[in-house]
Amino acid sequence: MTLNYSTPAVNPKLGSSFAIFASAYTCLALMLVVLEQLGLSTLTIDHAIIVAPALFYIAIGFMTRTIAIDDFFVAGERVPPLYNALALNAMVFGGSLLAGSIAAFFFIGIDAIAIPVGLFAGLVLMAVLFVPHLRKAGAYTVPGFLHLRFGRKTIRLAASVLMIAPCLIAIVAEIALGGKLVGYLLPSPQALGIDLSPASLFTLLVVASVVLAVVLGGMRAATWTQCAQFVVVLGLLAPLIIVSVIRTNLPLPQLTYGGQLEDIKEREASKGFITTTRPKALSDVLPGQTAQPVTRPAERMFSALSPVDFVLLIFCLAVGVAAHPSFLPRLSTTPTILASRRMFGWVTMVGAFVVLTIPAYAFFTKAMAVEALIGVPVSDLPTWARALQQLGFISLPGNQFEQLGGSQRVTFQPDSLALILPMAGQLPRVFFGLAAAALLAAVSACAAGHLVALANTVSDDIYHGILKRSASPARRLLVARLSMIVFGLFIFFLAKGHVDPLRWAMVSLSLAAGTFFAVLVLSVWWRRLSAQGALAGMLAGFGVTALYLSASGAPLFGIDPLNAAVIGVPVSFISAVIASLLLGASDAQAQEAAEDLRVPAGETLQSRMVRLSSRTKPSL
């Protein structure tokens, strides 16, 4: 008997829909530029440029609501490659890592290239190791994939529990950053007549906007909102290109920022404010939460990070991205296995563009800040410096700058550095709003993706997969939606505390790498891996990585705690291999699943399981 496999239809109007959105957003920005020249207040401009996209994300979430299981969990398996690539890049280069990378380039110089390169390397590693094989599985979640591979509920439950920590940490990092960004743009709660602290109100607004955008549509809503959010993220290019034209006469900042590095180098030498060039540990040189001065050269390689830390950071970020349980379900949303391969062609193109843009944005910002602020008498400060001081982006002294060591008197708030460029370039206020809206869009895209992954795991793996196999589709969707709301409330309370978004995002990637990378690699590429080995690998990797992240005292072998995956990944590999060899081989079903995963064509394992289970149901 021949089985016919149907390919889900792709909406032919997607291109038109997103072109209309991009045009509408551009028209909104241009209209606000005109109205600003006619006297529209800056507060109104900030509100319009921030609130309008947020309302549109919520509207997309409402329009993409669904009651179909496949639509909610994997967007109906009909997301075209380009749109899937935009959604995945929006998640990987989320707000925390985007803003954190810009701040890292600003403070520690070219050594910060390890962060975007590591993220991009993770996308490439995912394409090489997992794409066709995980798409062949067709699972809704990473725990679901491991269940299809080994057929054991214990594996599914363990993976479901272990993925909660890295996903929650990533969401908290994004929401905390989003709350700070909203605080820069909105008046205090007391001015609005609301009896809440600023942190509580602004964090609540961000959490509510993220939950409302995806609670009705799940992965389907997350996909289309993330595509729209990536369009908004591209708004960062507007001030960057204009400043590039002003300073270099060319609208290609990704290719011209080298000249800005030379300018920064000359000014650092003439003003003499660079005082530290010796590499330090990764945790010590990354920008923190407090305002700090610029003390490291911009263009000198390995002046902040040692070569060992540089390589280890790239490794940890790469394996974390490649194995993160929130990113991998994106592979199951394409119509076919071939489409998933094509998706990663777009992923690498878009990701490479982002990697080139981040340092350009940071160094144009630093060139203008060094030129106008550092070593300059207070009487000669530009007007935009006082505006930045009022917003809390920079701290200025009350007396004359010292010509030497002047940077010790000017401190910059790391989370706000991505917003300085439009004001330093003396552009209309709308461009400041575009930059803020871009960061908030990146925050929302990343947080929504992690939230959907958590909710899907609770519903499909824990509730339906373990607790109640007979649960109806409606009940499964209800559990997923309630999970989003519960997680949202929990995240709201966590994000109000002291959170360093960049470090928390890196911790999330290290935990994901230590827990899942080795097991996923062996699941695909080693038939001998048993269920006991997979369980031992996940538990050992998670335990060692978490302990090293939280340990105090001298680092083991000089490995920084933020690079904990360097220890966790090998321990996970060794534990999985030893347990598989000592506790017996995998059963015939697991070995058959491993063989099927090697053939990137035909019916997915998930579809086959659903088809066979439907045949075995007793007739009423």
Return the pLDDT at 400. Answer: 42
pTM: 0.94
Least confident of 5-19, 337-351, 524-538: 5-19
Return the pLDDT at 596. Answer: 86
Element (H, E) at 412: strand 411-412
**Best CA proximity match to 223, nearest among 332, 342, 96:** 332
Least confident of 39-43, 375-379, 469-473: 375-379
- Can you read off the two tokens belonging to residue 511? 């935990």
Asked whether residue 382 carries a pLDDT value surpassing 50, the answer given is yes
- Can you read off the two tokens belonging to residue 283? 């945790």
CB-neighbour burial class of residue 283 (10 A; exposed 0-12, middle 13-18, buried 19+): middle
Return the pLDDT at 2. Answer: 40
pLDDT tens per residue across span 64-91: 999 999 999 999 888 999 999 999 999 9
Band of pLDDT at residue 1, cut at 50, 70 and 90: very low
Average pLDDT on 502-515 reads 96
Element (H, E) at 422: helix 420-424
Average pLDDT over all residues of the chain: 89
DSSP string covering 171-206:
HHHHHHHHHHHHHHHS--TTTTT--S-HHHHHHHHH
**Best CA proximity match to 287, nearest among 374, 412, 203:** 412
pLDDT tens per residue across span 389-416: 888 898 876 544 444 344 447 889 998 9
- Can you read off the two tokens belonging to residue 146? 């491991």
Percent with pLDDT over 90 in the chain: 65
Band of pLDDT at residue 6, cut at 50, 70 and 90: low
- CB burial string 6-36: b at 16+ within 10 A, e below: eebebeeeeeeebeebeeebeebbeebbeeb
Return the pLDDT at 406. Answer: 43
395 bridge partner residues? 411
Q: Phi then psi for 281, rounded to 5 degrees?
A: -65, 150
What does DSSP say about strands 411-412 and 394-395: parallel, antiparallel, or unpaired? antiparallel
Return the pLDDT at 544. Answer: 96
Q: Dihedral of CA 268/385/102/188: which sign?
A: positive
Question: Cβ neighbours of residue 297 under 8 Å, at least 6 residues apart?
Answer: 109, 265, 268, 274, 277, 303
- Residue, of 410 and 193, whose pLDDT is higher: 410
Return the pLDDT at 3. Answer: 44
Band of pLDDT at residue 12, cut at 50, 70 and 90: low
Average pLDDT on 435-458 reads 96
Return the pLDDT at 553. Answer: 64
Asked whether residue 474 carries a pLDDT value surpassing 50, the answer given is yes
pLDDT tens per residue across span 86-107: 999 999 999 999 999 999 999 9
